[in-house]
Structure formats: C-alpha cells, structure tokens
Amino acid sequence: MKFCECGSYMEKTREGFQCPRCGVMAPSTANAFNKRRNDAENTIYVVDNSLGGYLKVSHACPECGNPETYRLIAASSGEHAGVKQDRAVERYKCVKCLHSWIVS
C-alpha cells in the first residue's frame, strides 16, 4: 500500500504505483508502506495510575513468582430463565511485572 503526495491511495501497476487522482507514477522499488507519523497526536497522557479497589495481598504471581499481588473481587448478578444467579470473580495483578489473571 502506498500513498501519493496528494493523500490518495496509489494503485499498483506493472510499471510501479500510479495515483488515480493526479496520475503521479512511483517506481515499484520504492517503499510500499509509507506511514505518516505525528507524535503529538499519538501521545498518551496517564492522569491517574491508581489501582482503584485493589488490595495488596500475599499471592504468588504465575509469571515471575513475585509473592505480592493486588486483588480485586468483582461481583455480578443476573437472571437466566427466571433463576437469579450471583457470581464473584477474583482479579489479581502482580506488583512487580503487572501481569493480571482472573480466578473465578
């Protein structure tokens, strides 16, 4: 995929790439992927890095083996075919490597 200077998508031909809008030709040996990059638009700002309702507990991480993890218990309830169902899900996040996993 290649884009022309006018911003249009260039079509691949036997001679190379040709712009259907302005007719500009580019050789096929040119880089087929041109990505416009504007770092100002792609910047992500982290405003709050808190862990909300997570509590620090002693539970080993399955990835790095660190003995301290954060734990959050989330409860959900619903109804299926007229039967009320409650479910609790435990979410863990490692303090060291930030690996997360769920125990239900």
Q: What is the pLDDT of residues 35-79, one digit of tens each?
A: 666 656 667 666 555 666 778 889 899 999 999 999 888 888 888
Tell me the whole-structure pTM to 2 decimals: 0.46
Angle made by CA atoms 6, 34, 23, in degrees to the nearest 5: 35
Does any domain span residue 49? no
Q: In terms of residue numbers, what domain contains 95?
A: 55-103
pLDDT at 87 over 50: yes
Q: CATH code at 76?
A: 2.20.25.10
Characterize 69-78 residue by residue with b for buried, 16 or more Cβ atoms within 10 angstroms of its Cβ, and e for exposed. Answer: bbbbeeeeee
Mean pLDDT of the chain: 79
Give yes or no: residues 28 and 61 share one domain.
no
Question: Is residue 50, in this structure, part of any structural domain at all?
Answer: no
